[in-house]
């Protein structure tokens, strides 16, 4: 098949979705399909793709969107239409960019089916952010964009359950995100992380928070949970905070650890990536993310693939899958419940090693790249054939 993907910005500072797009294009290309990527921002597109060599996926850089409504220019639309005509199907990513409506309209005019990945944007929590603006967008074209799609892709059953009311006449499908599990074929070695942060080895129990540091991720609940554990003596916990974010919010969280008298238990590691990130997962006893909303959540499955159990909230779309893996604990988003979960691992009430092993085995089997890629191919083939 000839499969193209469109995402307005391939910029990894925007979180997991751009990375998921790159992984999907690369996987489909590796499986013998003619794979393409259309975007207005090639910031984090692999440099080897930008040379235009036939051995790599095709990249079409469109002119930047313009105007207060962020729409493609006539020049951009001409190039878009020329490119779309060379593919069997277009996979679009995201909901709220006005240019998406232009891209979808171009597909319909040329009878090229398109698939839309929601990326958690219609989840209940997400729909309460900028509530009025989103409902207006759906009314003036967004709902039509979704309902005319060949399929609306969700990464978990819970996402589809929350989202389908916004495109009642559309067709929803559930396929997990493609995740590159090759770095986890062998369990990551914790040695690099232990060298970089010797306090991990010195601690009796280490919890990892790895994410963008923003209010949505709920770091304050983890800080308060550690304060509860310290106050009642249930567990002596070291927390590694890996990530960057808004400076004012990061400062507020640092100040919160001081006010709670737990600043000495927190290490602020900044951004951690690549092999060192995987080593850090393996070096820690537990991964904790008290988030308000998460669509797929690459970090959960990276942690599980590294053999490290997970505790997160029931506000995560993949919470049932995480729990089903045998390597995760799902709790409400509050400090006391996180304190209880952490203490259960630190005390040995829950066997972290056994749960880590179960979660790793489940992830390597159920998120196997070939298995997930075949599910996407089935979706594409059914829409092209229709």
pLDDT tens for 3-40 read 999 999 999 877 778 988 999 999 999 999 999 999 99
Cβ pair 275, 183 in contact under 8 A: yes
Closest CA to 300 of 95, 155, 116: 155
Say what the pLDDT of residue 191 is.
98
Cα separation, 299 vs 197, whole angstroms: 20
Share of the chain above pLDDT 90, in %: 94
Q: Which residues of 159-190 are buried (b: 16+ CB within 10 A; e: fewer)?
A: bbebbbebbeebbbbebbbbbebeebeebbeb
Residues ≥6 apart with Cβ < 8 Å to 98: 65, 69, 70, 71, 137
Q: What local confidence, expressed as pLDDT, does residue 15 receive?
A: 72
Spans of all domains in the chain? 2-179+368-385, 182-366
What's the confidence (pLDDT) of residue 386? 62
Q: Which fold has domain 2-179+368-385?
A: Rossmann fold (3.40.50)
CATH code matching the domain that covers 182-366, chosen among 3.40.50.2000, 3.10.450.50, 3.40.1030.10, 3.40.50.300:
3.40.50.2000
Handedness of CA 197, 263, 215, 252 (dihedral sign): negative
According to DSSP, residue 119 is labeled T
Tell me whether the CATH fold assigned to 2-179+368-385 matches the one assigned to 182-366: yes
Task: Name the least confident of 14-23, 125-134, 359-368.
Answer: 14-23
**Per-residue pLDDT, 185:** 95
Cα–Cα distance, 347 to 43 (Å, whole number): 45
pTM recorded for the entire structure: 0.90
């Amino acid at each position: 098949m000839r499969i193209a993907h469109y995402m307005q910005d391939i910029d990894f500072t925007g979180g997991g979705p751009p990375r998921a797009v790159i992984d999907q294009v690369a996987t489909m290309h590796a499986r013998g399909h003619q794979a393409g990527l259309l975007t207005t921002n090639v910031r984090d597109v692999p440099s080897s793709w930008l040379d235009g060599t036939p051995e790599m996926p095709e990249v079409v850089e469109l002119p930047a969107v313009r105007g207060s409504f962020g729409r493609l220019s006539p020049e951009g639309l001409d190039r878009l239409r020329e490119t779309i005509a060379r593919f069997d199907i277009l996979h679009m990513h995201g909901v709220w960019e006005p240019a998406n409506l232009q891209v979808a309209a171009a597909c319909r005019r040329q009878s090229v089916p398109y698939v839309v990945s929601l990326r958690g944007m219609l989840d209940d929590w997400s729909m309460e952010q900028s509530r009025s603006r989103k409902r207006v967008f759906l009314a003036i074209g967004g709902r039509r964009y979704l309902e005319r799609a060949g399929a609306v892709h969700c990464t978990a059953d819970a996402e589809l359950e929350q989202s389908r009311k916004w495109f009642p006449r559309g067709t929803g499908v559930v396929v997990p995100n493609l995740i590159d599990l090759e770095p986890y074929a062998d369990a990551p070695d914790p040695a690099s992380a232990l060298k970089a942060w010797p306090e991990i080895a010195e601690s009796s129990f280490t919890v990892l928070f790895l994410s963008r540091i923003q209010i949505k991720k709920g770091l304050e609940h983890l800080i308060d949970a550690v304060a509860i554990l310290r106050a009642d003596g249930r567990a002596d916990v070291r927390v590694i905070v890996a990530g960057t974010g808004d400076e004012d919010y990061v400062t507020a969280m640092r100040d919160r650890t001081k006010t709670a008298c737990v600043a000495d238990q927190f290490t602020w590691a900044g951004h951690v990536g690549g092999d060192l990130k995987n080593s850090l997962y393996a070096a820690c006893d537990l991964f904790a993310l008290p988030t308000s909303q998460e669509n797929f959540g690459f970090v959960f499955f990276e942690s599980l693939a590294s053999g490290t159990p997970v505790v997160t909230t029931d506000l995560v779309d993949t919470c049932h899958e995480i729990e089903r893996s045998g390597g995760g604990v799902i709790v409400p988003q509050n400090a006391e419940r996180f304190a209880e979960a952490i203490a259960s691992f630190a005390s040995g009430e829950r066997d972290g090693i056994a749960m880590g092993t179960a979660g790793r085995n489940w992830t390597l089997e159920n998120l196997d790249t070939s298995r997930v890629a075949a599910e996407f191919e089935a979706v594409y083939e059914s829409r092209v054939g229709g």
